[in-house]
Structure 1
Amino acid sequence: MAAEAKNEPFHITVNDQYSIDVLPDEAHALDVVPDGPARYHVLHQGHAFWVETMHADCDARTFAFRIDGQVFTVQIADFYTRLVQQLGMAKASGHRSNVVKAPMPGLVLQVLVAPGQSVQKGDPLLILEAMKMENVLKAANEGMVKEVLVQGGQTVEKGSNLVVLQ
């Protein structure tokens, strides 16, 4: 029996308390107007909100937003992420990726490391701007920077190799 992901819901958890499933076909359109590097004016169903992005970790699919002064943490899981969690393999450490890839298309604003530099898990490697939002890509593991494959000002596609660690 093969796992099917077609039109499977995204599971969204807010503040570790509230969960909703959203089907791709049911995604709601929002009218979003940027008002700075991480601040947006959002209109939805006749209601206006000020939204500020406080944290965005695209690899972990976790985000923190301040909406009209109140902070919300959001975690998004797709079909495959939920399947891995349900099978108890989410914490498996058998695979260690040495290549940092672009989680989305964007513009490399700044490279923060150089070849030969030692990094610890969580150290910032580069800043990628996507959809007018700055995303700091961090080292998933400790190691040494073997190669930097991009430079500031370079446009990258989703899945592009950015940094190689050893």
Structure 2
Amino acid sequence: MDKSYKLTVNNTNIYDRKASEDSTIDAVEVSPSKFHILKNNQAYSAEIVEADFINKTYTVKVNGNTYEVAIENALDLLIKELGFLVGGSKQINEIKAPMPGLILEMSVSVGQEVQENDCLLILEAMKMENSFLSPRAGIIKSISAKKGDAVEKGQLLIEFE
């Protein structure tokens, strides 16, 4: 069975894609987060500027134009269709590393008050820089990693009061 997903670009354009259609795209990594892409004999230069894996949103620059892209898979669409909000009633009190990586920047300190969507840290993983944004407003209770630390998947990074 062919997996499908929905791409929303700049909150206006919506594209339904099938995973099998991805084989028509030839992408070569030029450097970390930068790619040379061929599709239908047309060349594109692409760069992943920012990635939020938790919310499945990405900022992508293609041939100098910047796009905000949101990806939803079949499960995301079903949850939305049934009227459920993922994590809507759960308050997030800690940030854990979703994958092994290297802390490039720690943007907060203990006791600091943060607002929702403030940048907390930048983690380099799989040759990409991933910005971790605050899921809520709050005060930083503890920080378990510092700039330059190598972290493992599931490791506690930041805890909220």
Q: Normalization by structure 2: what TM-score? A: 0.79
Q: CA RMSD in A?
A: 2.7
Task: Give, in whole Å, the separation in 1 of the partners of 2:143 and 2:103.
Answer: 12
1:21 partnered with 2:14: no
Q: Name which of structure 1's ranges 73-82 and 44-53 shifts more when overlaid on structure 2.
A: 44-53
Task: Give, in whole Å, the separation in 2 of the partners of 1:132 and 1:92.
Answer: 29
Contact 1:111 1:152 (C-alpha < 8 Å) held by counterparts: yes
Aligned residue-pair number: 159
Contact 1:144 1:165 (C-alpha < 8 Å) held by counterparts: yes
Q: Structure 2: which 5+ runs fail to align?
A: none
Q: Normalization by structure 1: what TM-score? A: 0.77
- From 91, 98, 119, the counterpart of 1:96: 91
- From 45, 51, 65, the counterpart of 1:56: 51
Encode CA deviations 1:26-79: one digit per residue, 9 max, x unaligned.
6437432234x6533334565432112333222211112121133332111123
Aligned residue type for 1:135: N
Q: Which residue of 2 aligns with 1:83?
A: 78
Task: Give, in whole Å, the separation in 2 of the partners of 1:91 and 1:104.
Answer: 21
Contact 2:27 2:35 (C-alpha < 8 Å) held by counterparts: no
Matches of residues 1-166 of structure 1 in structure 2 within 5 Å? 8-15=3-10, 16-23=12-19, 27-28=22-23, 30-35=26-31, 38-44=33-39, 46-90=41-85, 93-166=88-161
Q: Structure 1: which 5+ runs fail to align?
A: 1-5
